[in-house]
Amino acid sequence: MQPAAQVTTKAHSKPPGGRRKPSLFRLRNILIGVVALAIATGVYWWQAGSGGNGEGAADYLTAAADRGNIEDSVTAVGNLQPRDFVDVGTQVSGQLRKVHVEIGQQVNQGDLLAEIDPTVYLTRVEANRAQLENLGAQLTQRQAELALAQQQFTRQKNLLAENATSEDAFQNAEKTLRAAEAAVKAVNAQIRQTTSTLRGDEANLGYTKIFAPMSGTVVSQNAKQGQTLNANQSAPIILRIADLAVMTVTTQVSEADVSRLRIGMPAYFTTLGRPDRQWRGTLAKINPTPEVVNNVVLYNALFDVENTGGALMTQMTAQTFFVVAAADNVLRVPVAAFQRPAARQAGGPQQAGGPPQAGVEGERRRRDGATSAGAPPADPAGQRERPRMVQVLKPDGTVEERRIMIGVSDRVYAAVLSGLNEGDLVVVGRKPSAGQLKVQQQQQQQNMQRMRPPGML
């Protein structure tokens, strides 16, 4: 057939006596492959030499070890109250007829603050005084009767001694004397009772005028002029007087942080209106009984501050910081540079081939605060030296893992005690790749779309 003949013809068309020479197109492809392989090999060895992990120096995010201040503190939110204050109330019921002071006014001890309508208590005093006058008149009458009974008894006694009177007359005279004496005693008892009632009514009459029990500032007023106060069920509060020279900061510290507090430690706070100003004091007391708010256990920690200039006011919110440890002008690095917590003992790294329990035991002892031979001493701030591993970017672009010792640390920086010099670059992260940036942008766009109100494009 014709197709078979064509195949036979092509087979016989090859020149006899060996292979054909490669064409120019095939030689060019080989040359291009060799050049590409050489370029790829060079890039690989350049990355391996510069990054150690196949990454260049430009792929790292670094931070320089510099000098600065570090403060390890416990943060809590509290409010301000005057250290010395008194709630001025009333001991008697009645209408609040007059209030002589205003909120913010300075008062001295003994100043008249308010008056309650005294009409009811004045009438009681007058009635008791009249009752005392009546009892006094009765006492005079009873004393006259007693004197007469005494004379009659004496006469009957003398007559009986001379047998000039009967026994019955003598006994009647004696009975009359005893009755007169009892009547005098009864009137005296009534006088003492009425006198006591009068003193109580006079005291209540005096309570209708309310005086300042201390010097200070009127910070609040609960009752208004003309209001009726009922002191039978509870003592109504009219106003509060406080000494604003010293303020007490009451903060609520969580149970996770209260164990880090100690009496006498320094503390300071800022207010919402003056975040640039710090008021400093010393922790004075930690109340042992907590408050439970939404299943969160909170302990009240208190300290006093001088209210210089009167800038602090009652019920102000205080952002409080209890300083656990602090260091000034020390070499520091970001805590983001730490690769992993060191699971080695303070005496040195774990030996290769040793039991894995040794590193775990060293970490447990370091965490529990147990001391051992060769352990580094604690720094003056009370923070023990701790080992950490960081990566240092060297000037030639290579990365070196280095073991350092740190001291005081906060949420951002840690003080470097040994292992680094000022200006050393430590690796804090790696720059995201183009794909990662694209994914982050897509996530941001999706979040913005979710936050849009309905109906908006």
Residues 321 and 257 in one domain: yes
Residue 148 has a pLDDT of 94
Tens digit of pLDDT for each residue in 66-116? Answer: 999 998 999 999 999 999 999 999 999 999 999 999 998 999 999 999 999
* Residue 147 predicted with pLDDT over 80: yes
Res. 27 pLDDT band, cuts 50 70 90: low
Domain co-membership, 275 together with 201 = no
Instruction: Return the closest-CA partner of residue 267 out of 256, 278, 282.
Output: 282
Q: What's the average model confidence in pLDDT over 437-442?
A: 72
- Are 61 and 337 in contact by the 8 Å Cβ rule? The answer is no
Query: How confident is the model over 176-211, as pLDDT tens digits?
Result: 999 999 999 999 999 999 999 999 999 999 999 999
Kindly state whether residues 183 and 253 are assigned to the same domain. no
Contact 197, 132 (CB under 8 A): no
Q: Do residue 187 and residue 257 come from a single domain?
A: no
So what's the pLDDT on residue 241? 92
The rounded percent of the chain whose pLDDT value lies above 70 is: 74
Asked whether residue 444 is assigned to any structural domain, the reply reads no
The residue among 310, 327, 344 that closes a domain is: 327
User: d(Cα 252, Cα 320) in Å, to the nearest integer?
Assistant: 10
- Is 402 domain-assigned? no
**Beta bridge partners of residue 286, listed in sequence order:** 301
**pLDDT, position 96:** 93
Residues 202 and 136 in one domain: yes
pTM for the predicted model, two decimal places: 0.61
State how far the alpha carbon of 417 is from the alpha carbons of 242, 367, 385, in Å: 49, 19, 8
Q: Is residue 276 part of a domain?
A: yes
Confidence class for position 17, pLDDT limits 50, 70, 90: very low
Neighbouring-strand partners of residue 389: 403
354 SS3 class: coil
Q: Report pLDDT for 434.
A: 66
pLDDT of residue 340: 60
Residue-wise pLDDT for 237-252, tens only, equals 999 999 999 999 999 9
pLDDT of res. 232: 80
| Final residue belonging to a domain, choices 207, 231, 255 | 207
Tell which residue, 398, 392, 389, has the closest CA to residue 427.
Answer: 392
- Looking from the CA of 141 toward its CB, the CA atoms found within 13 Å total 9
Residue among 451, 442, 389 at smallest CA distance from 420: 389
pLDDT (tens digit per residue) in 311-370: 899 899 999 999 999 989 999 989 888 876 544 434 444 433 333 333 334 444 444 433
Chosen domain end from 181, 207, 233:
207
Residues in contact with 115: Cβ distance below 8 Å, sequence separation at least 6, in sequence order: 96, 97, 98, 100, 208, 209, 210
pLDDT in tens, 282-319: 999 999 999 998 899 999 999 999 998 888 998 999 99
pLDDT tens, residue by residue, 132-146:
999 999 999 999 999
The CATH number of the domain where 279 resides is what?
2.40.30.170
Task: Please state, for a pLDDT cut of 90, what percent of the chain lies above it.
Answer: 46
Any idea which residue has 């019920």 for tokens?
Answer: 315
**3-class secondary structure, 273:** coil
Residue range of the domain that includes 257: 75-81+245-327
In the chain, the number of structural domains is 2
pLDDT at 31: 59
- Mean per-residue pLDDT, 11-31: 49
pLDDT band at 36 (very low <50, low <70, confident <90, very high): low
Q: Give domain status of residue 323, yes or no.
A: yes
Q: Does residue 323 share a domain with residue 259? A: yes
* 390 Rama class: left (phi>0) / alpha (psi -120 to 50) / beta: beta
Residue 106: closest CA among 31, 20, 215, 9: 215
254 or 453: which carries more pLDDT confidence? 254
**Position 258 in a domain:** yes
* 65 within a domain of the structure (yes/no): no
Q: Has residue 388 been placed in a domain?
A: no
Say if 50 falls within a structural domain.
no
More confident residue, 10 or 248: 248
Which of 64-78, 368-382, 408-422 has the weakest average pLDDT? Answer: 368-382
Assess whether 257 and 201 both reside in one domain.
no
Nearest to 242 by CA among 312, 302, 309: 312
